[in-house]
Chains A and B, each alone.
Chain A
């Protein structure tokens, strides 16, 4: 539903986005990750045809962002980074305005507004002026406006920024619920958000795609992936050498008398080897965990290396 082909944007001579390509299908939630200034927001602004690309193109539901921007905008629900809402309006009037722009007649408007207000929990502030709302409410109002017309494509720029943990939880649940019949792109700095809502993560660094994979696969690229953290019941001399001698081990760190952190050679399964060497040498394990990899570690490695 979203197809991006070699999309690029230069601001004067500053390269903001440098020829990125990807596709998003129906049912996918893609998390855009990247440090500030990596080009996430610029990409989103191009996809919503708010700014035009310097080169390359993209299409939304088959409509080109360059030649058919009106159809593109009809098919998109967009939450801008700045949470842009008319602060001089009331919540009700603002949603009615958005619904009118989307071309709904009076009865439809009433129904649509009622349903998004319920979904985003805006009932308690429905008649309030927007400038008196907290950031969390404004953000949800922005989201309500974006999903009002039930668009096939949702583009959300930091949808949970400024929300409290409960609201974050609700918004993520909402995004998951919406994702069944939509293609969704969200940008975020919060890595746990990617793990909890995204089926795919794209890491952008310096305007280019540095990684495009599922959160699980990305995590497993971490140097900590598969690391074994083992604690023995009793301290014993020689354990360190014993562990160091294992074939799949690349590095052993002694954390305290009984606890060791073992990093694997890539592609090796350390867990079985640690357990068998322990039983063979009469060592009792009191605690053992295998690290599934850390997204923040991968994020750091990818975005600082390139």
Chain B
């Protein structure tokens, strides 16, 4: 645990001193603003909720999170510090978890910087605060899943472009299998019902949508947390084998 905290602190310090994080935050805020206000017509809808904001989150993260995660291990490999790190007396999963949590903290801070949105809604109408909080929690968990997939692919390859594309495609697939048009498509294939449920159960989108309704179901949270842990564990296993490459 202590080692995870040490790695986490070092990573955070590195993020603060690098421009990439600031670029990420600015991009995230601008894009989420444009999508919410311009494309979804936040004001025109006339509803005091953040549906038009959270609806974009899965798609926005699809591009931004692989961009953060692709650097996680490739930089260490390029500079050779991976050799230093793993000849220190730490376990691979500790390094993996420290790096994951630091990147997750950065992504979460960018998300929390949208606090003006709920404030605006609160000022304009009478929103359901619980639903808004659930929306944020769902978004944080979703970003953790994307990032965990990104961690896995960053550990698997030293090539940043490959890492980006694989993370993007995997997140996209896991989103789409629960996205309505695709669910309809699967239904058209006359697959057995249990299979259909299983497929959509495995989608980020299904669980994200559940939480967006304002219901913090243990099953949804369990899905996200398990997904994150399993991905990181697999990433640590693959890194154990490929750290020296």
Q: Using a CB–CB distance below 8 Å, which chain A residues touch chain B?
A: 45, 48-51, 70-71, 73-74, 76, 78, 80, 82-89, 93, 97-98, 100-103, 145
Contact B13–A89 (Cβ < 8 Å): yes
Taking each of B80, B82, B91, which has the highest tally of chain A beta carbons within 10 Å of its own beta carbon?
A: B80
Judge whether B109 is part of the interface by a CB distance below 8 angstroms.
Answer: no
Interface residues of B in 55-96 (CB under 8 A from A): 79-84, 86-91
CA distance A103 to B1 in the complex (A): 12
The 4 closest A-B pairs by CB, nearest first: A82-B80, A84-B80, A84-B84, A73-B89
CA distance A82 to B91 in the complex (A): 22
Nearest CB in chain A: distance from B90 CB, A: 6
Contact B243–A74 (Cβ < 8 Å): no
Q: Using a CB–CB distance below 8 Å, which chain B residues touch chain A?
A: 2-3, 6, 10, 13-14, 17-18, 79-84, 86-91, 243-244
A-B pairs with beta carbons under 8 Å apart, 24 shown:
A49-B87, A50-B87, A50-B243, A51-B244, A71-B89, A74-B89, A78-B84, A78-B87, A80-B80, A80-B83, A80-B84, A82-B83, A83-B80, A84-B79, A84-B80, A84-B82, A85-B81, A86-B10, A88-B18, A93-B13, A98-B88, A101-B89, A102-B88, A103-B2
Contact A87–B244 (Cβ < 8 Å): no
B3 touches which one: A74, A101, A145 (CB < 8 A)? A101
Nearest CB in chain B: distance from A264 CB, A: 47
Contact A97–B83 (Cβ < 8 Å): no
B81 touches which one: A49, A78, A86, A93 (CB < 8 A)? A86
| Cβ-closest chain B residue relative to A76 | B87
CA distance A43 to B89 in the complex (A): 19
Contact A85–B17 (Cβ < 8 Å): no
Taking each of A74, A76, A80, which has the highest tally of chain B beta carbons within 10 Å of its own beta carbon?
A: A80
A73 touches which one: B17, B18, B79, B87 (CB < 8 A)? B87
CA distance A41 to B14 in the complex (A): 29
Q: For A102, list chain B residues within 8 Å (CB).
A: 88-89
Q: For A93, list chain B residues within 8 Å (CB).
A: 13
Contact B81–A84 (Cβ < 8 Å): yes
Nearest CB in chain B: distance from A135 CB, A: 14
Q: For A71, list chain B residues within 8 Å (CB).
A: 89
CA distance A73 to B244 in the complex (A): 16
Contact B83–A73 (Cβ < 8 Å): no
CA distance A208 to B55 in the complex (A): 63
Contact A50–B14 (Cβ < 8 Å): no
Q: For A49, list chain B residues within 8 Å (CB).
A: 87
| Cβ-closest chain A residue relative to B5 | A100
Contact B6–A100 (Cβ < 8 Å): yes
Q: For B10, list chain A residues within 8 Å (CB).
A: 86, 89, 97
Contact A88–B80 (Cβ < 8 Å): no
Q: For B6, list chain A residues within 8 Å (CB).
A: 97, 100-101
> Besides the contacts A49-B87, A50-B83, what 20 more A-B pairs have beta carbons closer than 8 Å?
A50-B244, A71-B89, A78-B84, A80-B84, A84-B81, A84-B83, A84-B84, A86-B79, A86-B81, A87-B79, A88-B17, A89-B14, A93-B13, A97-B10, A98-B88, A100-B6, A101-B3, A101-B89, A103-B2, A103-B89
